[in-house]
Amino acid sequence: MGNDRRPNQLLIVSDEERRNDWLRGRLELPAHQRLMDDGLTFNRYYTHASPCSPSRASLYTGSYVAQHGVANNVSFPTHTALDPDIPTVGSLLNGQGYYSAYLGKFHLTHDEIPDMESFGYRDFRGNDMHYTGSAWSGRFFDPIIAGDAIDWLREHGTRDEPWHLTVALVNP
């Protein structure tokens, strides 16, 4: 009988990405290159919302902005936050027996520390008060987030139940 074990999933999300073809040969990005060489690279991609919160909400819910309602970066009380009743990758995978965790920038609620269990994530390490992505903040926070991911993988990576881990970096 074959191996019926479902694969573990590691989703690395980096904020504020753009096409960098025009920089080829002028800017060395060795970490990006390693991720592209060893991971999955999309060469046909589109976004219907350039601000990061609406794009992130679409990625995590599989919905368009008109469906999930997050039309701006969730920076002010007047901006619509993601409704926890909308299914996310975390809640859908949790329902399928995955242990779902989220590390880093979420930026889809007004809360400094979001209630990630309501979005289907059993573990959360992050702080949206500081991880909102101001210029150069990734130089400080991304190593912390990456370290948290390494710690999480060491602690949970060999568990019997399949896991899904989202690692959301602040800046590339």
Q: How do residues 5-23 score in pLDDT, each as one tens digit?
A: 899 999 998 877 766 665 6
CB distance 113 to 140 below 8 Å: no
Spatial contact of 56 and 91, defined as CB atoms under 8 Å apart? no
| Per-residue pLDDT tens over the stretch 20-51 | 665 666 677 787 778 778 887 777 777 777 78
Does the structure show a pLDDT above 60 at 2? no
Q: What average pLDDT does this structure show over 117-134?
A: 77
103 bridge partner residues: 125, 167
Residues in the chain: 172
Beta-carbon contacts of residue 46 (< 8 Å; ≥ 6 apart): none
Is 7 in contact with 163 (CB distance < 8 Å)?
A: no
Q: Would 158 be classed as within a structural domain? A: yes
Give domain status of residue 121, yes or no: yes
Catalytic residue among 32, 48, 52, 130: 52
- Inside any domain, residue 106: yes
Number of compact structural domains in the chain: 1
pTM to 2 decimal places: 0.85
Task: Count CB-CB contacts under 10 A for residue 51.
Answer: 16
| Tokens, residue 164 | 């899904």
Say whether 48 is catalytic. Answer: no
Does 59 map to a domain?
no
Q: What would you report as the CA-atom Rg of the chain, rounded to the nearest whole angstrom?
A: 16
Among the listed residues 48, 107, 130, 156, the single catalytic one is 107
Q: How far apart are the first and last CA of the chain?
A: 43
Whether 126 is in a domain gets the answer yes
Q: Catalytic: 107?
A: yes
3-state SS assignment for residue 22: helix
Report yes or no on 136 lying in a domain: yes
What is the domain extent for residue 137? 9-18+86-169
